Amino acid sequence: MKYWLMKSEPDEVGIDHLVADPATPVPWFGVRNYQARNFMRDQMQQGDLVLFYHSSCAEPGVAGVVRVASTAYPDATQFDAGSHYFDPKSTPAEPRWLNVDVLLVAKTRFLPLQAMREDPVLEGMQVLKRGNRLSITPVDPAHWAHIANLIGFKG
DNA sequence: GCCAACGTTGGC
DNA sequence: GCCAACGTTGGC
Protein backbone atom coordinates (compact mmCIF):
# COMPACT_ATOMS: atom_id res chain seq x y z
CA MET A 1 0.00 0.00 0.00
CA LYS A 2 1.56 3.23 -1.15
CA TYR A 3 0.61 6.89 -1.03
CA TRP A 4 0.62 9.24 -4.01
CA LEU A 5 -0.05 12.77 -5.11
CA MET A 6 -1.64 13.28 -8.51
CA LYS A 7 -2.08 16.62 -10.22
CA SER A 8 -5.17 17.54 -12.16
CA GLU A 9 -6.19 20.77 -13.75
CA PRO A 10 -9.57 21.61 -12.24
CA ASP A 11 -10.72 23.11 -15.54
CA GLU A 12 -10.41 19.62 -16.96
CA VAL A 13 -11.17 17.33 -14.02
CA GLY A 14 -11.54 18.90 -10.59
CA ILE A 15 -12.58 17.40 -7.28
CA ASP A 16 -16.15 18.58 -7.86
CA HIS A 17 -16.36 16.49 -11.02
CA LEU A 18 -15.78 13.45 -8.84
CA VAL A 19 -18.17 14.64 -6.15
CA ALA A 20 -20.87 15.00 -8.79
CA ASP A 21 -20.66 11.30 -9.66
CA PRO A 22 -18.78 9.62 -6.82
CA ALA A 23 -19.54 5.99 -7.69
CA THR A 24 -18.06 6.08 -11.18
CA PRO A 25 -14.35 5.32 -11.60
CA VAL A 26 -12.52 8.12 -13.39
CA PRO A 27 -9.76 7.24 -15.85
CA TRP A 28 -6.62 9.24 -15.14
CA PHE A 29 -5.99 9.84 -18.83
CA GLY A 30 -3.49 12.19 -20.41
CA VAL A 31 -0.25 11.26 -18.65
CA ARG A 32 2.46 11.71 -21.27
CA ASN A 33 5.56 11.44 -19.15
CA TYR A 34 7.41 8.16 -18.88
CA GLN A 35 8.29 8.44 -15.23
CA ALA A 36 4.69 9.12 -14.26
CA ARG A 37 3.50 6.31 -16.54
CA ASN A 38 5.95 3.91 -14.94
CA PHE A 39 4.67 4.75 -11.49
CA MET A 40 1.20 3.70 -12.63
CA ARG A 41 2.43 0.63 -14.46
CA ASP A 42 4.97 -0.66 -11.95
CA GLN A 43 4.08 0.59 -8.51
CA MET A 44 0.44 1.53 -8.17
CA GLN A 45 -1.92 -0.97 -6.69
CA GLN A 46 -5.65 -0.96 -6.31
CA GLY A 47 -6.49 0.61 -2.98
CA ASP A 48 -3.50 2.96 -2.88
CA LEU A 49 -4.53 6.35 -1.53
CA VAL A 50 -3.91 9.52 -3.52
CA LEU A 51 -3.87 13.21 -2.70
CA PHE A 52 -5.94 14.87 -5.41
CA TYR A 53 -4.09 18.07 -6.26
CA HIS A 54 -5.36 21.01 -8.30
CA SER A 55 -2.67 22.52 -10.53
CA SER A 56 -2.42 25.27 -13.14
CA CYS A 57 -5.19 27.23 -11.53
CA ALA A 58 -5.77 30.25 -9.32
CA GLU A 59 -5.56 28.23 -6.12
CA PRO A 60 -3.22 25.26 -6.44
CA GLY A 61 -3.31 22.73 -3.62
CA VAL A 62 -4.71 19.50 -2.25
CA ALA A 63 -8.48 19.29 -2.70
CA GLY A 64 -9.32 15.75 -1.69
CA VAL A 65 -8.43 12.09 -1.45
CA VAL A 66 -9.03 9.43 -4.08
CA ARG A 67 -8.01 5.81 -4.31
CA VAL A 68 -6.59 3.76 -7.13
CA ALA A 69 -9.41 1.63 -8.51
CA SER A 70 -7.77 -0.32 -11.33
CA THR A 71 -4.44 -1.53 -12.54
CA ALA A 72 -2.86 0.37 -15.43
CA TYR A 73 -4.38 -0.18 -18.87
CA PRO A 74 -3.97 1.58 -22.25
CA ASP A 75 -5.06 5.22 -22.27
CA ALA A 76 -7.81 5.49 -24.90
CA THR A 77 -7.06 9.11 -25.70
CA GLN A 78 -3.71 8.25 -27.29
CA PHE A 79 -5.56 6.64 -30.24
CA ASP A 80 -8.13 9.39 -30.67
CA ALA A 81 -7.00 11.69 -33.48
CA GLY A 82 -9.38 14.35 -32.23
CA SER A 83 -7.96 14.34 -28.74
CA HIS A 84 -5.48 16.77 -27.32
CA TYR A 85 -3.68 13.67 -26.03
CA PHE A 86 -3.46 11.88 -29.39
CA ASP A 87 -0.10 10.21 -29.97
CA PRO A 88 0.47 9.22 -33.61
CA LYS A 89 3.44 7.09 -32.62
CA SER A 90 1.41 4.81 -30.38
CA THR A 91 -0.46 1.76 -31.66
CA PRO A 92 -3.08 -0.48 -30.04
CA ALA A 93 -0.70 -3.43 -30.48
CA GLU A 94 2.01 -1.56 -28.57
CA PRO A 95 0.35 1.17 -26.57
CA ARG A 96 2.78 3.69 -25.23
CA TRP A 97 0.57 5.36 -22.60
CA LEU A 98 -1.39 3.92 -19.73
CA ASN A 99 -3.76 5.11 -17.11
CA VAL A 100 -5.36 3.84 -13.93
CA ASP A 101 -8.87 4.58 -12.72
CA VAL A 102 -9.48 6.46 -9.49
CA LEU A 103 -12.50 6.67 -7.22
CA LEU A 104 -13.42 9.51 -4.90
CA VAL A 105 -12.76 8.85 -1.24
CA ALA A 106 -13.44 12.33 0.11
CA LYS A 107 -13.47 15.97 -0.81
CA THR A 108 -11.54 17.48 2.07
CA ARG A 109 -10.60 20.79 3.57
CA PHE A 110 -8.47 22.57 0.98
CA LEU A 111 -4.72 22.69 1.61
CA PRO A 112 -3.14 25.48 -0.44
CA LEU A 113 0.25 24.97 -2.04
CA GLN A 114 1.44 28.04 -0.16
CA ALA A 115 0.62 26.42 3.18
CA MET A 116 2.43 23.27 2.12
CA ARG A 117 5.51 25.32 1.27
CA GLU A 118 5.46 27.05 4.62
CA ASP A 119 5.11 23.82 6.60
CA PRO A 120 8.47 22.55 7.90
CA VAL A 121 7.11 19.01 8.26
CA LEU A 122 6.54 18.85 4.51
CA GLU A 123 10.02 19.99 3.60
CA GLY A 124 11.50 17.67 1.01
CA MET A 125 8.20 16.58 -0.49
CA GLN A 126 8.81 15.83 -4.12
CA VAL A 127 5.94 17.95 -5.38
CA LEU A 128 7.37 20.99 -3.58
CA LYS A 129 10.80 20.72 -5.11
CA ARG A 130 11.84 23.50 -7.38
CA GLY A 131 11.16 22.79 -11.02
CA ASN A 132 9.07 19.75 -10.28
CA ARG A 133 6.83 18.92 -13.21
CA LEU A 134 5.89 15.35 -12.49
CA SER A 135 2.13 14.92 -12.43
CA ILE A 136 2.36 11.81 -10.24
CA THR A 137 4.68 11.64 -7.24
CA PRO A 138 5.00 9.21 -4.35
CA VAL A 139 4.21 10.60 -0.89
CA ASP A 140 6.01 9.17 2.08
CA PRO A 141 3.91 7.95 5.00
CA ALA A 142 5.05 10.69 7.40
CA HIS A 143 4.07 13.40 4.92
CA TRP A 144 0.79 11.61 4.23
CA ALA A 145 -0.07 11.41 7.92
CA HIS A 146 0.66 15.09 8.41
CA ILE A 147 -1.37 16.19 5.40
CA ALA A 148 -4.24 13.88 6.34
CA ASN A 149 -4.32 15.60 9.69
CA LEU A 150 -4.24 19.07 8.11
CA ILE A 151 -7.11 18.36 5.75
CA GLY A 152 -9.15 16.46 8.31
CA PHE A 153 -8.97 13.13 6.53
CA LYS A 154 -9.32 10.07 8.71
CA GLY A 155 -8.40 7.05 6.74
C1' DG B 1 3.06 36.99 -19.81
C1' DC B 2 7.35 35.55 -17.63
C1' DC B 3 10.65 32.30 -16.48
C1' DA B 4 12.94 28.12 -14.45
C1' DA B 5 13.33 23.39 -15.14
C1' DC B 6 13.75 19.63 -17.82
C1' DG B 7 12.14 16.12 -21.26
C1' DT B 8 12.12 15.36 -26.26
C1' DT B 9 13.62 15.90 -30.91
C1' DG B 10 16.57 15.94 -34.71
C1' DG B 11 20.91 17.04 -37.14
C1' DC B 12 25.30 15.45 -37.22
C1' DG C 1 25.61 8.92 -29.02
C1' DC C 2 26.06 13.98 -28.43
C1' DC C 3 23.91 18.18 -27.63
C1' DA C 4 21.55 22.48 -29.05
C1' DA C 5 17.03 23.88 -29.98
C1' DC C 6 12.55 23.52 -28.87
C1' DG C 7 8.27 22.55 -26.31
C1' DT C 8 5.82 21.87 -22.05
C1' DT C 9 4.80 22.43 -17.23
C1' DG C 10 3.29 25.15 -13.68
C1' DG C 11 3.81 28.72 -10.21
C1' DC C 12 3.83 33.50 -9.95
Q: What is the mean pLDDT of residues A142-151?
A: 97
**Considering the entire predicted model, what is its pTM?**
0.94
Predicted confidence (pLDDT) at residue A88 exceeds the cutoff of 90: no
Which chain A residues 86-115 have CB under 7 A to strand B?
A: 89
CB of A149 lies under 7 Å from some atom of strand B: no
Q: How far from chain centre, in Å, is Cα A118?
A: 22
Nucleotide nearest to A129 (CA to C1'): B5
**Rounded alpha-carbon distances, angstroms, from residue A59 to A11, A56, A113:** 12, 8, 8
Which pLDDT band holds residue A131 (cuts at 50, 70, 90)?
A: confident
Neighbours of A10 (CB within 10 A): 19
Tens of pLDDT along A25-79? Answer: 999 999 999 999 999 999 999 999 999 999 999 999 999 999 999 999 999 999 9
Nucleotide nearest to A134 (CA to C1'): C9
Of A49, A54, A146, A35, give the one whose Cα is nearest residue A98: A35
More confident residue, A16 or A155: A16
In strand C, which positions have an atom below 7 A from any protein CB?
Answer: 8-12
Q: Which amino acid, A114?
A: Q
Predicted confidence (pLDDT) at residue A103 exceeds the cutoff of 80: yes
Q: What's A87's DSSP letter?
A: -
Q: What pLDDT is recorded for position A89?
A: 87
Q: Do residues A15 and A52 lie in contact, with contact meaning Cβ atoms separated by under 8 Å?
A: yes
CB of A56 lies under 7 Å from some atom of strand B: no
C7 C1' – A9 CA distance, angstroms? Answer: 19
Q: How far apart are the C-alpha atoms of A140 and A74, rounded to whole Å? A: 27
Predicted confidence (pLDDT) at residue A84 exceeds the cutoff of 80: yes
More confident residue, A151 or A92: A151
Strands A61-68 and A49-54, by their bridges, are antiparallel
Q: What is the CATH number of domain A3-151?
A: 3.10.590.10
Predicted confidence (pLDDT) at residue A155 exceeds the cutoff of 80: no
Q: How far from chain centre, in Å, is Cα A119?
A: 21
Q: How far from chain centre, in Å, is Cα A138?
A: 10
